[in-house]
Amino acid sequence: MLEVMTWLESSALAGFLRGLGIWTYGLLNLAHIIGISSLFGAVLLLDLKLLGLWRSIPAVSLIRPTVPLAAFGFVLAAISGIMMLSFNTTEYHGNPFLYIKLPVIVLGLLNVAIIQRLAAWRRAAAGLRSEPGDQRILASFGSLSLLTWLTVISCGRMIGYW
Ligand code: HEM
């Protein structure tokens, strides 16, 4: 891990970003927050729907706007996060919150990849009538999603306090 961190810290990207001036880190942090709020705002609505809230609203009406918004938020958070990390990567060596956060992000992405392959999700996303058992399957993926992204946010916030 230390080797990867040393490589990132001494990369051309890190050197370029550090040379841009004193506002760079703050602006990256701002982009990170905009990414996180877009991602989590979208995910919260979608997951609560998967958990069974707002039964009068068809799932497809929430899936259409929230999925692209969550994808946009994630890409922005990931790019800005890697850039922030490159500023002084080795300072994060041994930071348990970072070491929990990164694998949990992978878990959150795996959850997204799996749910999109499920027949229950495909029916919901196409606006088709759900079958018995769909609600239970979608609710379990929705709760895992909430748990993973809340863990990522909590660990992200705690990184600086270690
Ligand atoms: C590859 C992906 C990511 C990397 C490399 C990354 C890296 C970072 C770094 C370096 C910090 C600054 C820590 C500090 O010194 O205080 C940070 C903060 C934070 N990150 Fe990430 N992050 C990533 C994705 C995410 C995602 C997807 C979320 C949320 C869903 C998230 C949530 C947070 C939060 C809440 C903070 C604290 C922000 C603040 O208090 O200003 N991060 N992240």
DSSP string across the chain: -HHHHHHHHTSHHHHHHHHT-TTHHHHHHHHHHHHHHHHHHHHHHHHHHHTT--TTS-HHHHHHHHHHHHHHHHHHHHHHHHHHHHHSGGGGTT-HHHHHHHHHHHHHHHHHHHHTTSHHHHHHHTTPPP-TTHHHHHHHHHHHHHHHHHHHHHHHHHHTT-
Question: Tens digits of per-residue pLDDT, 111-129?
Answer: 999 999 999 999 999 999 9
Instruction: Tell me the pLDDT tens digit for each residue of 12-69.
Output: 999 999 999 999 999 999 999 999 999 999 999 999 999 999 999 999 999 999 999 9
Instruction: Give the model's pLDDT for residue 1.
Output: 81
| Ligand 1, atom 1, residue with closest C-alpha | 78
C-beta separation of 142 from 50 below 8 A? yes
Q: Which of 72, 88, 101 to mutate to test the pocket of ligand 1 (most atoms within 8 A of CB)?
A: 101
102, 155, 159, best to mutate for ligand 1 pocket (most atoms within 8 Å of CB): 159
Determine the angle formed by the axes of helices 134-159 and 96-115, rounding to 10 degrees.
160
- Chain segment 132-160, per-residue pLDDT in tens: 999 999 999 999 999 999 999 999 999 99
Query: pTM for this structure?
Result: 0.95
Does residue 77's CB lie within 6 angstroms of at least one atom of ligand 1?
yes
